[in-house]
Structure 1
């Protein structure tokens, strides 16, 4: 997370030219920052294109209150790359730095760290569970722990796939802008503390 990427030296680095709430007219576009790089071997699943083994996420570190679609309001403007590591011959060693620097504790600059991949059981929001014993046992567990259900059923933190948390809204389908089919969660970046930490 937040570290160097396996980025081809001959591939243009992505920039964000959407003004943020603090930028003056004519402010130049800012370089996006590396957020995550995941290899297929560390997170296998059906979200991988057949010929790709590296997932890369970059985003603009600046806050945009009204970003263009398909980005959600007050969220980072993101770029995703999927690539084959075998095709990267020369790696970019010095990616550009953002032009607009955010204030301390403001914006979306990730702290570099290394993650240890762990397979976990993840379930949909309780209301989406089938009726029966499973729903009943989840509701009893939620009632006993008093967490409201979102943390119990959807694993918080950084994860590939499975289910989104709905702590700000009720669950709803997010349609594809091209075909209209419901989208499935691909990758979650969260600032939650890991379980058991202070």
Structure 2
């Protein structure tokens, strides 16, 4: 497993943080897995989430991530970088809204961009929270296998030139979690 992202609650506060956790570490195996564990996407790296408390971490900070000990896919080994946090309002796919709210969102999209281009719903890129893009198919809700709640988008890893990551066919790996309990298994899909 290699580190992919480390996010502090001070930089990205939101409803996805479990009580007491102030650090989320996203790790993945930099190898495509065609036989991944349950609820992980075929043909993508296997993901692991670690919710931590920085006060409980001990020892000096690590200078850098260790090199993987086995063959890995170049496009799954990220270039070390620092992202700046940008807080955005991300709106859902139109069909995910109640019918009475859809015209207002459609008007907001038109008012936001002069040519009517949709730049405010399903914001693309690496993001914590928000709404999935669903640019390849219609919305597909995921349900928690433990409690049946509708899962919410926790994190999106998008293909981009900054990190050197290419997921699938220049797509996204999305991690959905249970809003009721962060210890319930998450679901990862490749889009």
Specify if TM > 0.5: yes
Larger Rg: 1
Partners of 2:34 and 2:126 lie apart in 1 by 23
Residue in 2 that maps onto 1:64: 33
Q: Between Structure 1 and Structure 2, which shows a larger proportion of strand residues?
A: 2
Unaligned runs of 5+ in 1: 1-31
1:105-138 Cα offsets, whole Å, 9 max, x none, are: xx41111110111110100012123335313315
Change (3 A) 1:103 1:191: closer
How far is the alpha carbon of 1:145 from its aligned partner?
A: 4.4
The partner residue of 2:93 within 112, 125, 130 is 125
Partners of 1:163 and 1:179 lie apart in 2 by 21
C-alpha RMSD of matched pairs (Å)? 2.6
Unaligned runs of 5+ in 2: 163-191
- 2:43 maps to 1:74: yes
The DSSP-based 3-state class of the residue aligned with 1:66 is coil
Change (3 A) 1:113 1:83: same
Change (3 A) 1:183 1:97: same
Residue in 2 that maps onto 1:182: 150
What TM-score do you get using the length of structure 2 for normalisation? 0.72
Asked if the contact 1:63/1:74 (under 8 Å) is kept, the reply is: yes
How far is the alpha carbon of 1:170 from its aligned partner?
A: 1.3
The partner residue of 2:22 within 40, 48, 53 is 53
Residue in 1 that maps onto 2:166: none
Partners of 2:59 and 2:154 lie apart in 1 by 28
- 2:81 maps to 1:113: yes
